[in-house]
Every structure is written in structure tokens, then in C-alpha cells.
Amino acid sequence: MAITRIHTIHTGTYGAIAYICDPDKTADGKYVVSNLCVSTPCGASEQFRNIRQSVGTGRSRSECQHIIQSFAPGEVTSERALLIGQELCKALFNDEYQYVLAVHCDHEHIHNHIIVNNVNFYTGHTFETEHNQGKIPNRAWSKLRTISDELCRKHGLSIIENPHLSKGKSHWEWELDKQNLSWKEQLKRAIDEVIKVSEDFEDFLAKCADFGILVDYNPDHKIDLKFMLAEQKERNPRAKFTRAKTLGYFYESQQIKRRIESYKYQMSHRPTARIIRTTAEKFQQSQGLTNWADRENMKAASTALNEMNASNSTLEELESAAHRALAEFMVMSTPQMELSDRIHKMEEQIPVIEKYHEFVAYHKKYTSLEGKAKTKYKSDFCYELDEYHKAYKKLIELFPDAHIPKLSKLKTELEKARTDYAEQSAERKALKKEADRLSRLAQQKRDSQRTLARYMQNEQAAKRKKSQLE
């Protein structure tokens, strides 16, 4: 099953590409590919802009399109998702558009992100015009979903029989989401983490609070499950709960229950050391075979015992420590969100200030003239004067207090903010790595306990069998 969405990005191509190419999300860039451009955020956004300026008509204010193709948890591998994403781009763009494709595999639900330039590389036609965004029967999102469903069938994946169950996002929400600012996205990620540490649905509801999630669950209501970030409530006491259905199909109560059971099954069926049952008839008939099985079982039990003693902590202590590390990892998202907000604002402010400085001289010259000279100047430089007014209007919106910072200072602050963001990302990555390490140790101890239990059961059964024969 694959859920598809498409959103227009009017500004911030660099930020969008940087988000989808995040090494933490793409296995250090292993699952990132591009077409007619490089795959680095800086290089790709620059090449996108060059094509828009040199080939495009200049009539569209959109910079690029952002496409998401999200698969059901556990249904595809990262490699297959990348292959399907490339086939989707081939069918939709026919190798005529620049794009960067990235597979996000840092969550249970693997998904593709595609940032595609809004201008055809060869013809200069805009995506909206070429794909008939304004004609309802042929809108790009409908074509996208149709192609995606065909590819899912081709690869033996399920498809959504009722597409209306998939909720879209507003442009505002998407602009936030592409910068890791969307409260919905943060909420979904927090829920994903709680699912991994929950024993059942009741345990899930109880543990949500540890991850900063408020829950409203009433099984008797038609809308039975709602969520809200605790931080969102603190910022805005009037904030309302978000229905699970609004977050997406995979976050409804029944699907959460299924995902918890699926994850528990996967973890409980991890390969463990094999204990050979020696109570079978063939072992009673061959002492050599029995001796061999006993040696193999003792080796497996010895390995399990060594793994048990690899950590002085108990299973409960390891699980608790992993839980705390995961919770801290999620809590740290708040300062990173705030910093990302600052970066986004500065990235929006700097081009406007640069544009203002570029055209303000034309405005000063125009205001210094009078009569026919002023009229002629306006006619000769109407474009420059228009660009000045646009920049001035935008500056008023961005700086309502009329305090415009120096461009050099703003650029310095932006570089520092980007450095701080990278440091925070590294810290969060280290926390996640530690949580994963503790989880692996807990799982190792859990597997070892299971192996030792099976060994003791086999030994006891073998003794009973022997006494019965005697």
C-alpha cells in the first residue's frame, strides 16, 4: 500500500532538498538519487534556479513540487522503495524534469520524498500548466495516485481501496513539515516511538505521556482516538486535539493495535540460538547422535550465558534505560524545531533584503525626478521599480517593526544557526544511537533468557524420558 501526496513549494527549495536528503533519514545518503542535477541540497537548488531563469517562462511563482509516497509499515525494503520511486518519476516526468529522490528509512513506515523542479528542463513549461493542475479530471495528484497504484500492483503490494481515507495537508502545514517543523509530523514520529516500546494498546495509551503526547481515547465514540503534543498545549492553551484519522490511516486505533502486535511478533521471532530437542525417537536409537546434540546444546547455552553476563544490568533496567533515552530523544525535538524556525525565517529574509538593496537606487532616482523626466524614467525602468515595490512590501511583512538588520549580520547569524542545528542533530543522533544500543542489549538478554529456558526444558524432558525408559 502506498499513500501519495503532492504539494507546491513557492520558496525554500534548498531547505526542502536538505530535509529529504538528511543523512539520518537516508542511511547516510545511501538512498538518494537525482536526475539532470546533482543530489546535494546546495548544488541541486542552484541548478533548479538556473533552469527556471534560463529556460522557464518566468510566469510561475512556484519553485518546485514536493511528492511523498508512503508505504505501509513492513511492506517494502528501502531498496524496493527506491526502485518504485524511480519508476514513479520515470512514468510521471519522462526524464524531462530535474528532481532529487530520497528514501526515508528511519521509521517503520518507509516513504519516498521527491523534490522536482517546477520547470521542464527542455521546454521551459511549468509543471502546473503541463500537468493540467486546473482541470479537475486530469489533475497531477490524480495521475500520481494512479501511477503509484499501478506500480504497487506490479510489485505485489497492496493498494488503498478507499482513497478518501487518506487525508491531505494544507500548504502551510507542508511548508512547516519540509523543515521538520510540522506539529503533525512531530506527533506522528512520537507515536511511532511509543508503538515500539508498548506491550499492548493499553500500555501504549499509558506510555504516551512519557513521550510528551496527550491522548483522548473513548472507544464508545465514532471518533474514538485523538492526540495532541503536550508542548503544543503549553504554547496554546486553546489548542485542540487532532483526530487519529487526520494523522493518517496508520494512526487510527485499530491500525495502532495491529502495528504493536506486528512489531512484537517481529521482535519475538528474531533468530536465536537453536536448542535441539533430544527427546525424539531418533536420539534414543543413537547414542552418538545424542552426544552430538548435547554438545551443540551446551555450546548454545554457554553462548547465551556469556551474552547474559555481557551487561551487569537486568533486562528491566536495560528496557527502562532504552525507554528514557528514546523519550529524551523526542523531547530534544523542541529546541531543534525552534532553531529550524529561525533558520527558515532568515532564509526567507535574506533574499528579500538583497533584492531591496538591488533595486532601491532606482526608486531613489525616480523620486528625485519631476515632470516628463519622471514619467520617462518610470516607463524605461518599470520592471526595476516594480521589483523594488514588491521587495519593499515583503520587507514590511517580514519586519513590521521597521527594524531591518544588516545583511552581513543576518548572514553571520544564519551560518551560526546552521552550525548549531548540525550540532543539535549530532547530539540527537548520539541519543538515538545509545537508545538503539540499549534496545539491542535488552533484546540480546531477552533472546539469551529464551535460549537458556529452552535448554533447561530440553534437559528436564530428556531426564524424564530416560527415567521412563529405565
Q: Which of 193-202, 218-227, 258-267, 382-391 has the lowest mean pLDDT?
A: 258-267
- The answer on 311 and 217 residing in a single domain is no
In terms of Cα–Cα distance, which of 350, 342, 351, 310 is closest to 449?
310
Tell me what pLDDT residue 133 has.
Answer: 47
Model confidence pLDDT, tens digit, residues 60-95: 778 888 898 888 776 788 888 899 999 999 988 888
Q: 179, 210, 233: which is the final residue of a domain? A: 179
- The answer on 436 and 455 residing in a single domain is yes
Which band of pLDDT confidence, cut at 50, 70 and 90, is reported for residue 226?
A: very high
Tell me what pLDDT residue 469 has.
Answer: 64
Domain around 399: 275-470
- The answer on 421 and 287 residing in a single domain is yes
Q: Which one-letter amino acid corresponds to residue 300?
A: A
Q: What whole-number distance in Å separates Cα of residue 88 and Cα of residue 79?
A: 14
Q: What whole-number distance in Å separates Cα of residue 296 and Cα of residue 273?
A: 10
Per the CB < 8 A criterion, the answer to whether 98 and 51 are in contact is yes
- The answer on 28 and 81 residing in a single domain is yes
Q: 266, 289, 310: which is the final residue of a domain? A: 266
Q: Which of 13-27, 200-214, 325-339, 432-446 has the lowest mean pLDDT?
A: 325-339
- The answer on 167 and 40 residing in a single domain is yes
- Any bridge partners for residue 64, and if so which? 9, 117
Q: What whole-number distance in Å separates Cα of residue 103 and Cα of residue 115?
A: 12
Model confidence pLDDT, tens digit, residues 36-54: 888 888 888 888 988 888 8
Model confidence pLDDT, tens digit, residues 346-391: 988 999 999 999 999 999 999 999 999 999 999 999 999 999 999 9
Which band of pLDDT confidence, cut at 50, 70 and 90, is reported for residue 140?
A: low
* CATH number, residue 105: 3.30.930.30
- The answer on 161 and 78 residing in a single domain is yes
Handedness of CA 415, 417, 418, 419 (dihedral sign): positive
How many contiguous H segments (helices) and E segments (strands) does the chain have?
18, 8
- The answer on 150 and 9 residing in a single domain is yes
- The answer on 200 and 122 residing in a single domain is no
Q: Are strands 2-9 and 64-71 parallel, antiparallel or unpaired?
A: antiparallel
Burial of 467 (0-12, 13-18, 19+ CB in 10 A): exposed
- The answer on 191 and 173 residing in a single domain is no
Give percent of the chain with pLDDT exceeding 90: 18
- The answer on 425 and 300 residing in a single domain is yes
Q: What whole-number distance in Å separates Cα of residue 62 and Cα of residue 97?
A: 14
Cell of 38: 546533482
Q: 152, 179, 206: which is the final residue of a domain? A: 179
Coil, strand, or helix at residue 270?
coil
Half-sphere exposure of 138 (CA within 13 A, CB side): 9
Average pLDDT over every residue of 207-215: 85
- The answer on 360 and 430 residing in a single domain is yes
Tell me what pLDDT residue 305 has.
Answer: 79
Cell of 435: 537508545
Give percent of the chain with pLDDT exceeding 70: 87
Report how many domains make up the chain. Answer: 3
- The answer on 140 and 209 residing in a single domain is no
pTM of the model: 0.39
